[in-house]
Amino acid sequence: MQEILSLQKKIVPELVEVLEKRYSILRTIYYNQPIGRRVLANQLDLGERIVRTEINFLKSQNLIEINTPGMTVTEEGREIVGKLKDFIHEIKGLSDIEENIRSFLGLKNVVIVPGDVEKNQTILKEIGKATAQYLKSTIENDNIIAITGGNTIKEFVEAMPKMNSLSNILVVPARGGMGRKVEIQASTLAASLAKKLNGSYKLLHIPENLSLNLLDTLLKEKEIKEVIDNIHKANILIYGIGEALVMAEKRDVSKEEYDKLKSLGAVGEAFGCYFNKDSHVVSENTSIGININEARKINTHIAVAAGENKVDAIIATMMNNHNAVLVTDEAAGRKIMEFIKDHTE
């Protein structure tokens, strides 16, 4: 199969380009339907004339419908999107990239979604779907799942299909709340995921950045202690990866703390821990929830992060994390490959 794809690329490279373009257009319509032509062109950064031509072709093949609210994908179109996913993955050589990254970083597994989330936000939905599929293949009865908050984790929760075959699943927030957006906080997402998995959940309605004295007091509360105990017993940890200084700003840290992180060379952040480029934890955000030592005891980590801007953070937080699965996009994957080549030549 791979040999045939390689021959196609050499003999008819334009065929591969057209296939990728039409797949991207069809996938974007699917995730944003109903959608207008102009919005579609802006999302894909393509000229309206090119989009018009491709839309006419997709309509002639009965893959999309055009109505007053906008374009939608037909049943046949949905089947094409599903069937083409693996083919596009192979034609772009992403399986080899996944294995190279897995081996270099020392991870359990790597899953790469075709595309660039920075150029097309639809890819974030694909990443959420890929994360959901991985969890579906991994989760077992009696599992405890700890999840963090964030937009990427929200996409995963929304993409998770309803599963009624599981029993005694417990979902807990990995850490206390951060920021003002309730819909992307860990407790909210834990409750939503539990419903999808026909399980139960426990909440941790506690903000981050509390003083040590207050933390000690709260940890003595029976309900909070029970949630913390469950977090520490988690079988699966699902979390996002952030750029260190960006996350510090989101946490509204003091200027002194921000400058300290900068001077320490912090580049990546995961579950409240800040890592430098050598993958050492240089600072840890004091909060109720999981910490780096507890995290390393958990059997399966599913880390979700995408975009070239996250590459330094991904490498810093994931290096030699043998229990970790990385779900990312093609743009980040290829950028990590550049890093690997620079450090292995």
- For the stretch 42-59, pLDDT in tens is 888 888 899 999 999 999
Lowest mean per-residue pLDDT among 34-48, 126-140, 204-218, 306-320? 204-218
Looking at the predicted structure, is the pLDDT value of residue 7 above 90? no
Task: Summarize pLDDT for 141-180 with one digit per residue, the tens.
Answer: 999 999 998 899 999 999 999 999 999 999 999 887 655 6
Is domain 94-344 given the CATH code 3.40.50.1360 in the classification? yes
Q: What is the average pLDDT across 128-139?
A: 95
Task: Summarize pLDDT for 83-111 with one digit per residue, the tens.
Answer: 888 888 888 889 999 999 999 999 999 99
- Architecture of the 2-90 domain: Orthogonal Bundle (1.10)
Q: Are 149 and 186 in contact (CB under 8 A)?
A: yes
CA 168 from chain centre, in angstroms, equals 26
Least Cα distance to 311 among 240, 246, 243 occurs for 243
Q: What is the average pLDDT across 58-82?
A: 93
How, if at all, do strands 109-113 and 70-73 pair?
A: unpaired
Query: Would you kindly state where each structural domain of the chain is located, as residue ranges?
Result: 2-90, 94-344
Q: Max CA-CA distance within the chain?
A: 69
Predicted confidence at residue 178, as pLDDT, reads 56
Q: What is the average pLDDT across 188-210?
A: 85
Q: What count of Cα atoms within 13 Å lies in the side-chain half-sphere of residue 251? A: 31
Q: List Cβ neighbours of 251 (8 Å cut-off, separation of 6 or more).
A: 178, 208, 209, 285
User: In whole angstroms, what is the distance from residue 48 CA to residue 37 CA?
Assistant: 7
Token digits of residue 132: 């959901």
Least Cα distance to 5 among 81, 82, 87 occurs for 87
CA 59 from chain centre, in angstroms, equals 32
User: In whole angstroms, what is the distance from residue 116 CA to residue 110 CA?
Assistant: 16
The pLDDT mean for the chain works out to 88
Task: Report cis status (omega within 30 of 0) of the bond before 114.
Answer: no
The owner of tokens 């797949």 is 23
Q: What is the average pLDDT across 171-198?
A: 85
Q: Percent of the chain scored above 90 by pLDDT?
A: 61
Predicted confidence at residue 205, as pLDDT, reads 67
Q: List Cβ neighbours of 146 (8 Å cut-off, separation of 6 or more).
A: 171, 172, 173, 174, 231, 234, 236, 237, 238, 290, 298
Residue 28 pLDDT grade (very low, low, confident, very high; cuts 50, 70, 90): very high
Is the backbone of residue 145 left (phi > 0), alpha (psi -120 to 50) or beta? Answer: beta
Residue 208 pLDDT grade (very low, low, confident, very high; cuts 50, 70, 90): low
Looking at the predicted structure, is the pLDDT value of residue 20 above 90? no
- Residue count of the chain: 345
The pair phi, psi for residue 308, each rounded to 5°, is -60, -30
- 257 or 345, which is more confident: 257
Predicted confidence at residue 1, as pLDDT, reads 59
Looking at the predicted structure, is the pLDDT value of residue 8 above 80? no
User: In whole angstroms, what is the distance from residue 8 CA to residue 143 CA?
Assistant: 45
- 128 or 203, which is more confident: 128
Predicted confidence at residue 253, as pLDDT, reads 84
Q: What is the average pLDDT across 109-124?
A: 92
216-224 long-range Cβ contacts below 8 angstroms, 24+ apart: 218/288, 219/288, 224/288
